[in-house]
């Protein structure tokens, strides 16, 4: 039923898009058919696949690095309270700092290649994952923890069987938010460094007012975001079954 509602809403979006293209002007908002034709042309020329591959390489490199750093660090901050209290003020300060402010420094240190772009993605994705993991560990059921301690369960067993499973919903939310911000930072990185990938095409077609091609790139980015969200949602559901078992 949910899929049916989504298809109906998608139809309404396309209908609204078509109406807007008629009233506002096709030179500003292309029709869905013109956008589809532009997408087919970019695909046949190989530009779309090449740019998508470049952007995915940057995004996935930065996102996975953020995941591998943020989850263990957030878990340590929550499990070792003095350690967490020491670092949390700096973590929140860094989270409040616009990532764009670090781009000139990143370029100076890492150049204009994929390393710099992936690190910019990392900077965007790491904070939501870290903060949510930290919050999830702190939100562990204290009654269950005390009950386990009273039975003589070791701290490692308490953490792996009670604290960590309880933190999974927080971690999953952090991953989804981190993936969204990481995808945004992928485009930002491609615009500020070597202009490549989907971000490069976005700049090219936006500057030359080739709006049909521009809309193709925007839709591709949206599709990547949806696919990543659904993959993470599937992983979350699988982990939820593991938690209940």
Mean pLDDT, residues 19-36 taken together: 80
- Per-residue pLDDT at 236 exceeds 80: no
DSSP H or E segment with residue 56:
helix 47-79
Predicted local confidence at residue 129, as pLDDT: 92
- How many other CB atoms are found less than 10 A from the CB of residue 108? 9
Secondary structure class of 192 (helix, strand, coil) = helix
Secondary structure class of 15 (helix, strand, coil) = helix
Q: What is the pLDDT of residues 159-172, one digit of tens each?
A: 666 777 777 888 88
The answer to whether the beta carbons of residues 183 and 15 sit under 8 Å apart is no
R_g of the chain, CA atoms, integer Å: 22
DSSP 8-state symbol, 33 = H
Supply the mean pLDDT for the chain: 81
Domains of the chain and CATH, by start? 45-244 (1.10.3720.10)
Query: What predicted TM-score, i.e. pTM, was given to this entire model?
Result: 0.83
Mean pLDDT, residues 165-181 taken together: 85
Split at pLDDT 50, 70, 90, the class of 149 is low
Q: What is the pLDDT of residues 192-232, one digit of tens each?
A: 776 678 888 888 887 788 888 888 888 888 888 888 888 88
Predicted local confidence at residue 64, as pLDDT: 92
- Per-residue pLDDT at 243 exceeds 60: no
Split at pLDDT 50, 70, 90, the class of 17 is confident
Split at pLDDT 50, 70, 90, the class of 47 is confident
- Per-residue pLDDT at 244 exceeds 60: no
3-state secondary structure 214-241: HHHHHHHHHHHHHHHHHHHHHHHHHHHH
The DSSP-derived string for 57-95 is: HHHHHHHHHHHHHHHHHHHHHHHSHHHHHHHHHHHHHHH
Q: What is the pLDDT of residues 60-98, one digit of tens each?
A: 999 999 999 999 988 888 878 888 888 888 888 888 877
- 223: burial class by Cβ within 10 Å (0-12, 13-18, 19+)? exposed
- Quote the CA–CA distance of 162 and 155 in Å, as a whole number: 10
Mean pLDDT, residues 133-157 taken together: 71
- Quote the CA–CA distance of 38 and 210 in Å, as a whole number: 10
User: Which of 161, 168, 162 minimizes the C-alpha distance to 235?
Assistant: 168
- Per-residue pLDDT at 150 exceeds 80: no
């Amino acid at each position: 039923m949910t899929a049916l509602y989504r298809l109906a809403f998608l139809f309404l979006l396309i209908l609204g898009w078509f109406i807007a293209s008629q009233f506002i002007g096709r030179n500003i908002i292309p029709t869905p058919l013109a956008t589809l034709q532009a997408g087919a042309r970019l695909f046949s020329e190989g530009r779309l696949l090449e740019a998508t591959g470049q952007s995915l390489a940057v995004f996935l490199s930065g996102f996975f690095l953020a995941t591998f750093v943020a989850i263990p660090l957030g878990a340590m901050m929550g499990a070792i309270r003095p350690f967490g209290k020491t670092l949390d003020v700096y973590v929140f300060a860094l989270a409040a700092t616009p990532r764009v402010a670090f781009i000139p420094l990143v370029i100076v240190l890492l150049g204009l290649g994929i390393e710099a772009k992936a690190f910019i993605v990392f900077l965007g994705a790491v904070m939501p994952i870290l903060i949510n993991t930290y919050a999830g560990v702190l939100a562990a059921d204290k009654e269950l923890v005390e009950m386990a301690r009273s039975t003589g369960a070791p701290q490692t067993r308490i953490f792996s069987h009670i604290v960590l499973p309880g933190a999974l919903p927080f971690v999953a939310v952090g991953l989804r938010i981190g993936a969204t911000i990481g995808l945004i930072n992928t485009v930002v990185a491609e615009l500020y460094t070597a202009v490549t990938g989907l971000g490069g095409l976005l700049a090219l077609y936006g500057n030359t007012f080739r709006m049909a091609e521009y809309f193709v790139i925007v839709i591709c980015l949206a599709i990547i975001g949806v696919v990543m969200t659904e993959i993470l949602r599937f992983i979350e559901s699988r982990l939820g079954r593991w938690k209940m078992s």
